[in-house]
Amino acid sequence: MSKTDIKDEIAVDERDSPMDEQREPSGKPEGKRPAAREPGGSPLRLYKPGQGVRVRWGTAVGAGVLTLWGVSYLFDQLGRFAFFSDSLALHYFIPVVVLAAIGVGVFYLVGRHPRVVDFLVATESEIKKVNWSTRREVIGATRVVIVTVLALGFLLFLVNLVFIVLFERIGVLRTNMSGQIFSRLMGGGEG
């Protein structure tokens, strides 16, 4: 193949796919256009299958638990009305319809809605980037927090005690609060 044949082949390739790239005003290629949706696709087809699976399932299970709780509450509330308790078909039919409608809505949001799915996929990818602490680090940090809180509590107790004694000496407090505190600390009764 000669150099002119290669140049002609490249030129033909560029002419064959003018719609693949759009050019920005600066002249740089913008990227590939998204493929058009196929007509007649399955309503059960997932958007971006295999991506964000854990977060999508977690969201769906959480929404399912809340939905079951809500439908159970609705079922109980319908039983309080004589009209619904007399008609068992309505008493059971309404919660089942609500359950099915919310189930379809959750499936659509978690499985097919592009913005929600993109958010859940991005959430899972960010969770994978998190540097989770080890068990040893968590135990060490917990010990530091507990010791700090106890030391701060003891320090505030001492400062409070100093102020009580000081205010009793200068006559601002006219109770024997410091005597009561010291007698209780030493194991005595009321002082």
93-139 pLDDT, tens digit each: 889 999 999 999 999 999 999 999 999 999 999 999 999 899 999 99
Summarised one tens digit per residue, pLDDT across range 4-42 is 555 555 544 444 444 444 545 555 555 555 554 544 567
Q: Please give the model's pTM, rounded to 2 decimal places.
A: 0.51
Task: Give the residue numbers spanning the domain of 151.
Answer: 135-185
Burial degree of 52 (CB within 10 A; 0-12, 13-18, 19+): buried
Report CA-CA distances (Å) from 154 to 6, 104, 143, 180.
Answer: 84, 57, 17, 18
**Is the domain of 143 the same as that of 88?**
no
**Domain end call among 91, 109, 129:** 129
Asked whether residue 180 is assigned to any structural domain, the reply reads: yes
Cα distance between residue 163 and residue 116, in whole Å: 58
